[in-house]
């Protein structure tokens, strides 16, 4: 079987990784940590050959999506006080090229990106925390490691473009001969605490509640109808990646909400997706 065999919405707040949490905060985000371990077990059971991560925190290219085509990724959580949480990962360059071509064929602007060495095979691209945190659970520490493909959305493009781009990723996965996992790396409203960096924003809970409702009612298409002003006011960091995941899984998969909490100023959510039985 080739194509998508695993799909999930996963957070990238560093507290999702127990090893990144200081002892005095050991109980923070426990529900998220347990749900991530559950997702990790499901990922392993699906036996993917490659994992595609939609991340909001890698290179931003104006008016274009971006696909990492370097030979490898490397990063750590030093900026979040956990330098010991570090990861290196090979890139599935063949699949990355196919994903880029499929997105371009769908009429969506996209660029291949790399870093450092001019020879892409030797280039090591920075791994942002929104890629590292999911990959910590999804293939980054497997033996052998599961090669990754990192895709950045483009917030200056609309929801339809993101859904179409996700569908293009699914097409590339199906044509690749690989078993592919697809992850929407997503933290949600960032205004849950008055003393957080974004201040208190009531729209954050409104946005998060609507995402939770869409998952619980298995109506992921409701995400397309979210108002851009609500997304902006909520300081959400998830809409674009979830739209790409919607395009990738379409109506063929159903979501299962595993956890939702906002233990600090932003919302964190874990959801697994299961394929619907063939009609």
Mean pLDDT, rounded, of the chain: 96
Q: Calculate the CA dihedral of residues 60, 164, 94, 8 and round it to 10 degrees.
A: 80
Which of 173, 73, 172, 168 has the alpha carbon at shortest distance from 130? 73
- Rounded distance, CA 126 to CA 237, Å? 20
**Range of 221's domain?**
3-275
Taking only the tens place, the pLDDT of each residue in 64-93 is 999 999 999 999 999 999 999 999 999 999
Q: How many domains does the chain have?
A: 1
Q: Check whether 279 has a pLDDT greater than 70.
A: no
Q: Check whether 277 has a pLDDT greater than 90.
A: no
The owner of tokens 């050991």 is 26
CATH code at position 209? 3.40.830.10
């Amino acid at each position: 079987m080739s194509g998508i065999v695993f799909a999930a919405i996963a957070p990238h707040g560093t507290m999702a990784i127990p090893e990144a949490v200081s002892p005095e905060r050991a109980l923070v985000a426990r529900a998220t940590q347990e749900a991530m371990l559950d997702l990790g077990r499901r990922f392993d059971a699906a036996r993917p050959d490659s994992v595609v991560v939609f991340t909001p925190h890698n290179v931003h290219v104006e008016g274009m999506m971006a696909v990492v085509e370097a030979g490898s990724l490397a990063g750590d959580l030093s900026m979040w006080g956990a330098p010991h949480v570090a990861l290196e990962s090979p890139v599935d360059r063949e699949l990355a090229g196919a994903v880029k071509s499929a997105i371009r064929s769908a009429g969506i602007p996209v660029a291949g990106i790399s870093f450092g060495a001019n020879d892409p095979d030797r280039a090591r691209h920075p791994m942002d925390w929104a890629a590292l945190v999911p990959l910590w659970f999804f293939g980054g520490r497997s033996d052998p490691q599961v090669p990754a493909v990192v895709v950045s959305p483009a917030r200056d493009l609309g929801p339809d473009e993101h859904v179409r781009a996700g569908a293009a990723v699914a097409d590339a996965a199906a044509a690749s001969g690989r078993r592919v996992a697809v992850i929407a790396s997503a933290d949600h409203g960032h205004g849950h605490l008055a003393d957080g960096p974004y201040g208190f924003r009531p729209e954050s809970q409104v946005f998060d509640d609507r995402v939770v409702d869409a998952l619980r009612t298995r109506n992921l298409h409701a995400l397309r109808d979210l108002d851009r002003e609500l997304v902006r006011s909520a300081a959400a960091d998830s809409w674009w990646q979830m739209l790409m995941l919607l395009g990738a899984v379409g109506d063929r998969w159903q979501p299962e909400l595993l956890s939702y909490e906002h233990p600090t100023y932003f919302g964190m959510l874990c959801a697994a997706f299961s394929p619907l039985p063939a009609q």
